[in-house]
Amino acid sequence: MTYSISGKTAIVTGAANGIGLAIARHFIERGANVMFADIDEGKLDAELGDLTRDEGPARYFAGDLCQKLTIANLVSATVDAFDRIDILVNASRQIALSDPLCSDDTPIEDMLRQNVMSGLKLSQIVARRMVAQAARETAEGSGTAGSIGAIVNLSNIAAQRVQPELLAYSVAMAALDQTTRSLAVAYAPHRIRVNAVAFGSVMSMSLQNGLREHADWRGRIVAGTPMGRIAPASELTEAVQFLASDAAGFVTGQILTVDGGRSLIDAVQVPGH
């Protein structure tokens, strides 16, 4: 069995830049139809260019996915464009520093809303769509015995590491991991798989921005990573493709760590990206 996703339709959130964009582009290159979703319409338009022709494999949808109506509109737009949804990649994520001594709960609330709740609500709507289309295909005699859909969440090793300045982000990533496991069990009877990729030492947009301001971070991250390097986003996209493909047909509720071994050692105060 191969990792093929050719002919499948995927929604990828956070697809205007960074890792989300890399995943969406990778899926296009592997033969999938992809709805690029992000709040930044200008960047989506600039990045996609001619890919969004009516007959092409790519479309984009711009909107705030913290809004329930926007989520419903995204699903409708994807079905209108490609007639189905097979894969959802929740790659939209924001990272923010917070002060553990501050009594203001806003940073944690924002991180949970942006990094957990929006993806959860989208997953619920997409899962219902997957179940409905599977029922239709079974009635038509074209259904399959395997999984009917795959959801992949983008997590981070911050969920398992303690860095006080990343309190809000770490709490959100831990919540995302538990959401992944819980949805995996809940959706298993419907033959929908839910997994996550937790990354660290991968060149994300937030890490790129951090390295511009803190040149010393690179050496510290490399020193804190057993494989001794920062990986390009392409090494993360391959892991996401595996979990989205039929090759992972009996894999659900798993958090696949892609971090060059970094989470295996006790490196103190290495920036959490």
Catalytically active residues, by annotation: 169
How far apart are alpha carbons 9 and 27 in whole angstroms? 9
Phi, psi of 158 (to 5 degrees): -60, -20
Amino acid letter, 270: V
DSSP 249: T
Alpha carbon of residue 33 to chain centroid: 16
Q: Where are the alpha helices (DSSP H) in 86-204?
A: 106-112, 118-140, 167-187
Three-state SS at 31: coil
Asked whether the beta carbons of 34 and 10 are under 8 A apart, the reply is: yes
Beta-carbon contacts of residue 67 (< 8 Å; ≥ 6 apart): none
